[in-house]
């Protein structure tokens, strides 16, 4: 089965229902262009602001979860539901749900590394004010190959991507919301680095840039192949990207430059024992 992936780069507003309606409209447009695997951006059902997370948070199997499951089944697609604020007990998480084409949940990722930064003269943000970090890997098997989901800031930690690849993952999906401080410098750099390091496809799905928001996202959703080449990319605007991906390229590249076969775990482990 051919993998035809669709990235949804949408603006969010201060209305969950409007955001869900926008997502549905854009998903159906991507399906109309042939997409059979669709990815939404980070926090697609609410504005990306710490004060919103608790207000918009839902339990698993809540309103947005049900919406995503229904959309996946009705359109016969695999769907990575970007991420949403998920509440469990007294904790709130930045969570991505993954559904297969029957509407069944096949994976769940709670953002492992929380985005707590304070760049001099630039962006300041502290997810840990309202969110709790997750501890589990989100690896899932599809007819197209083994995949995994990480969220935004998780991308900056090469150990996580390498761990996923060592478990057989050939495509890493990253719902994200880089900003105008980190985006221009690090967005493409990090995706290309993780792709080259691990000889894996890297998929970045971001929200569209909204200058009316207190947190202005970078946009520029992209696909990077296992040789480190950006094969497709959007701008900062509200757009849809639909393109075919050849997973066989992963093994082809790994055979040509067998980086993963040349790993020296006997030496690297010493780093973490100190």
- State which H helix or E strand residue 16 sits in: helix 16-32
Q: Is 60 a catalytic residue?
A: no
pLDDT reported for residue 125: 86
The token duo for 69 is 């499951």
* CA 112, chain centre distance (Å): 13
pLDDT in tens, 153-181: 999 999 999 999 999 999 999 999 999 99
CA 116/CA 174 separation, integer angstroms: 18
Cα dist from 150 to 104, 135, 273, whole Å:
20, 11, 26
pLDDT at 29: 98
In this prediction the pTM is 0.96
Given 16, 152, 170, 236, the catalytic residue: 152
pLDDT at 274: 57
- The Cα 147–Cα 68 span in angstroms is 19
What CATH number is attached to the domain comprising 180? 3.60.110.10
- Residue 21: how many other CB atoms lie within 10 Å: 12
Phi-psi region of 236 (alpha: psi -120 to 50; beta: other; left: phi over 0): alpha
Q: Give catalytic status of residue 73 as yes or no.
A: no
Range list of β-strands (E), 71-153:
78-80, 84-88, 91-99, 105-110, 116-118, 124-126, 139-142, 145-149
Strand partners for 110: 95
Total tally of structural domains belonging to the chain: 1
Catalytic residue among 4, 11, 42, 58: 42
Q: Which of 111, 127, 170, 236 is catalytic?
A: 111
Strands 91-99 and 78-80: antiparallel
For the question of residue 46 being annotated catalytic, the response is no
Supply the pLDDT for residue 1: 76
By residue range, what is the domain housing residue 237? 3-273
Can you read off the two tokens belonging to residue 223? 């696909």
Q: Which residue positions in the chain have pLDDT lower than 50? A: none
């Amino acid at each position: 089965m051919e993998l035809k992936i669709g990235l949804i780069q949408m603006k969010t507003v201060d209305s969950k229902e409007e955001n869900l309606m926008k997502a549905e409209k854009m998903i159906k447009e991507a399906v109309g262009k042939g997409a059979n695997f669709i990815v939404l951006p980070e926090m697609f059902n609410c504005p990306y602001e710490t004060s919103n997370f608790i207000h918009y948070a839902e339990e698993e199997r809540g309103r947005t979860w049900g919406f995503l499951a229904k959309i996946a089944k009705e359109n016969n697609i695999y769907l990575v539901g970007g991420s949403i604020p998920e509440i469990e007990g007294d904790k709130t998480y930045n969570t991505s749900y993954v559904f297969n084409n029957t509407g069944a949940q096949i994976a769940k990722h709670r953002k492992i590394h929380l985005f707590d930064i304070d760049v001099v003269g630039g962006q300041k943000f502290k997810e840990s004010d309202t969110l709790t970090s997750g501890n589990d890997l989100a690896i899932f098997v599809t007819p197209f190959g083994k995949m995994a989901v990480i969220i935004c800031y998780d991308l900056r930690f090469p150990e996580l991507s390498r761990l996923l690849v060592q478990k057989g993952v050939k495509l890493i999906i990253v719902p994200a919301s880089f900003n105008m401080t980190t985006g221009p410098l690090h967005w493409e750099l990090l995706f290309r680095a993780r792709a080259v390091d691990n000889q894996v496809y890297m998929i970045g799905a971001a929200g569209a840039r909204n200058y009316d928001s207190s947190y202005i996202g970078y946009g520029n959703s992209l696909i990077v192949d296992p040789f480190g080449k950006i094969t497709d990319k959007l701008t900062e605007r509200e757009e849809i990207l639909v393109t075919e991906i050849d997973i066989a390229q992963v093994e082809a590249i790994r055979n040509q430059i067998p980086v993963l076969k040349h790993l020296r775990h006997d030496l690297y482990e010493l780093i973490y024992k100190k």
